[in-house]
Amino acid sequence: MSISVMVPAFAGTTENGEPLPFGVGGAVSALLDFVECDRARIARDPAYDGRFFTGVRTTGIYCRPVCPVRPARSANVSFYPSAAAAEAAGFRPCLRCRPETAPFCPAWKGSRTTVERALRLIEEGALDGEGTSVDDLATRVGIGARHLARLFAKHIQASPSQVAKTIRVQRAKRLLDATQSPVAEIALQAGFRGLRRFNSVFAEVYGRPPTEIRRRGSNASGRQMFGPFHW
């Protein structure tokens, strides 16, 4: 599924004055820059867990700052303020650090009430059922759909639809890890409209079907069960 996400084209310049793509050597958010994020992920600083995600271009995987895997070279990474933004950029979740279990602590939380309310509505299923739409979601928060898209692009760097997809997949991943429920049941509990759609989206995000993920984690104890959603 192709999702159009509005993101800034450039986020700074090199020492020679050449433009840098967003997330590469430039500002990641209003409070975090590339150097700070890079230092934090190399040190595996837990204080930054949930504040950004690292996309590794050589592997196509995105990770939490505390990922136990050997850190990639700085030249090969990009930083994103949300899991949804990393997925929209084409990265898959890391199976070692499990982004779906990261704490949710965006720097802007509480200061952007319209976006926060829209996120909560999405978490509650506002874009999951038949007949739901971004237009209806925008109406519920009192603004137009285009303005809502602009706000999400600014603060989340992913569209409302991408956020909804990430939430559904994360919910399903935790259910796969923590329960023995049939995959078809998990698909419905996670908010998907059918098993075929669930299998397709899950494979798109993780690069493998949910049954393979379950087999891979069958020896795990499910220690991290139902952490907060990470958009």
Q: Per-residue DSSP letters for 197-216?
A: HHHHHHHHHHSS-HHHHHHH
CA distance 189 to 206: 19
- Neighbouring CB atoms inside 10 A of 152's CB total 28
CA of residue 122 relative to chain centroid, distance: 14
Query: Which structure tokens are listed for 55?
Result: 């996309």
The residue count for the chain: 231
Residues annotated as catalytic (active site), given as ranges:
63, 67, 94, 97
Of 184, 121, 197, 187, which Cα lies nearest the Cα of 152?
Answer: 121
Long-range contacts of 187-193 (CB under 8 A, 24+ apart): 191/125, 191/128, 191/164, 191/167, 192/128, 192/168, 193/128, 193/129, 193/130
Query: Which helix H or strand E contains 34, and what residues bound it?
Result: helix 34-43
